[in-house]
Chain A
């Protein structure tokens, strides 16, 4: 059983490493932020698996804290950066430049 759980933890970790590629390549800010959310959720899963594998009940608290606070970053992203960005986009200037810069940045 422990072997099976270990393999499950490794599979989850591999999915996190694949998430790193999405954080790096983007292309959009939202893609990167959602990949970070994947890290939060999958991280909780891995912590829970480790808690069962090592039979350490204290680790459940860490999963609890991680799951509650993973949501804070995306709140900050949506409320601060997005508000500002939509204000910038609405200012009619440089919409084309934005998309051009995005393409450049996505490489």
Chain B
């Protein structure tokens, strides 16, 4: 098994190096997804199946989708480079042409090497310090695992990780959920300006394509592709059922609200990618659904104080059912949070844009959409396509 561990560590180092060394963003994203799978395996070998489950659901699944989405937005923006505000332009340049810049600055080579040396030495120093800290660590004053093992019979839940997260240290989890809520509110408020810009843009073709895409339950594109339709029709129910199972399993083995929420979100993302019109329904549910988990958690936490108990101290005998109730609501809210970050990201708007430009190409006319794929300046095209494969 030691050979397996060494190979796994080697593979993780290679994948991590690949993420950072790749100038092509798409390759870096694929490397990152691959790294996620290897990391899940590493957590397994370190006997942390809960972390492996979370990594498999979020790292290998959802993060890759969000990054691919971001890349498609960056590319769409880049092809419309002339219309970008200077700050965005600068950002794009730093993202996409670092290698080209490095090649141009040949006289700065020595400077570059010096910088590599300094960073390398610094990293080595940090590595040695970490190793030293690991080997010279003091004996733990409190043996937490044994304390958890002692408390399990009163926790109302069998799995130690879930017991810690939702009973012994439920304060942390409550604040974590609050942080997630704040994050998604900020994410949603950031999307508003770009949305109104798009509405101001006087491109009837774009609006027409959007309406066409949002009109039916399923857009024409997704409806016509038999592979996509059959695949998603079978996949989505499976993902949803597995999400429910993972939530249920959380009381006795690895699982719980966060992993189940990630699966629910994944089902929504699949539906969205396949062209099912879930955006409008999500919008109606959104404000209520996002806060539901936090509200239920806070209500349960505070209402026990009426019985004279301290904040977040579950009544005897009720802990198990209360924890499961909170977890079920949290699953819903977390799933919706992750999904809304995807649905309301700029990339989701980019899809109808791409369709509209495809259509404009077919009809032979150019559209003044903010995507601008159809009317790229020819001189810029070689550089703009440098990271297209």
Contacts and interface: CB of A to CB of B under 8 A. Distances in A.
A91 B8 CA distance: 44
B53 A62 contact: yes
Contact of A66 (B15, B40, B68): B40
For B53, B354, B376, the residue with the greatest tally of chain A CB atoms inside 10 Å of its CB is B354
A36 B75 contact: no
A102 B263 CA distance: 36
Contact of A26 (B45, B254, B389): B389
A19 to B, nearest CB: 7
Contacts of A86: 358
Interface in B221-280: 228, 231-232, 235, 238-239, 242, 245-246, 249, 253-255, 259, 263, 266, 269-270, 273-275
Chain B interface size, as a band, is: 35 or more
B293 interface: no
Contact of B41 (A43, A92, A94, A100): A43
Dominant secondary structure at the A interface: helix
A71 B68 contact: no
Contacts of A72: 61-62, 64-65, 266, 269-270, 273
Contact of A94 (B27, B242, B382): B382
B75 A62 contact: no
B300 interface: no
| A contact residues, range | 35 or more
A61 B255 contact: yes
Contacts of A93: 376, 378, 381
A84 B7 contact: no
Q: Of residues A24, A65, A73, which shows the largest number of chain B Cβ atoms within 10 Å of its Cβ?
A: A65
B57 interface: yes
Interface stretch (B29-37, B150-158, B319-327): B29-37
B12 to A, nearest CB: 10
30 contacts: A13-B11, A17-B10, A20-B15, A24-B27, A24-B31, A28-B389, A39-B33, A39-B34, A47-B40, A47-B41, A61-B249, A69-B62, A72-B270, A72-B273, A73-B61, A75-B232, A75-B273, A80-B69, A80-B347, A80-B351, A81-B26, A81-B72, A84-B354, A84-B373, A87-B373, A90-B358, A91-B357, A92-B361, A98-B385, A105-B389
Given A35-B34, A94-B384, 18 more contacts: A17-B11, A20-B14, A20-B34, A36-B30, A40-B37, A53-B1, A59-B44, A61-B245, A61-B253, A69-B60, A72-B269, A73-B64, A76-B269, A77-B68, A78-B228, A88-B373, A90-B361, A92-B361
What 8 A-B pairs are tightest by C-beta distance, nearest first? Answer: A69-B61, A94-B381, A29-B389, A73-B64, A97-B382, A76-B65, A58-B253, A43-B37
